[in-house]
Amino acid sequence: MKLWLAMFVILVVIITGGLYLESAILKTTNQISRSLNVVKNAVSNGQWSAAQQDVTALEQRWARCKDVWSPFIHNHDLDTVTLHLARLKAFLEAQEQGAALAEITQIEIQLLQLRQQEVLSLQNVL
């Protein structure tokens, strides 16, 4: 009987942890997407210094998230977002509007894929 109880408690902890992680990932990726929209608007309006400041803050937030998520999410996916953020920062420094907007779109696509991979669904379970 104690074994069944222990297994049930472990199962509940695993499920609760998974749901919490999913919720945190969705919340954070939504916040990052909103921040990217702010950067996109700044780039479109030629406000390069504001865009650089926003991307620096975004990079710091992403670094914290990456450290927390790395045991649970494929490192390749996390590194891809990091790579695109670094490229975006370089394009902002060079004030290349088209390339910066393209990198923002790449980051948005990568975040969307990350959300789809981590959301609990029948397709992801099977």
Does residue 57 form part of some domain? yes
For residue 21, the model assigns a pLDDT of 83
Number of domains the chain is built from: 1
Query: SS3 string of 15-65?
Result: HHHHHHHHHHHHHHHHHHHHHHHHHHHHHHCCCHHHHHHHHHHHHHHHHHH
Domain that holds residue 71: 47-126
pLDDT single digits (tens) 71-109: 877 788 888 999 999 999 999 999 999 999 999 999 999
Q: 91 in a domain, yes or no?
A: yes
* The residue to which tokens 């472990």 are assigned: 10
Mean pLDDT throughout 53-79? 88
Give the tens place of pLDDT for each residue, 1-21: 788 998 999 999 988 988 888
Q: Is residue 7 part of a domain?
A: no
The pTM for the full model equals 0.82
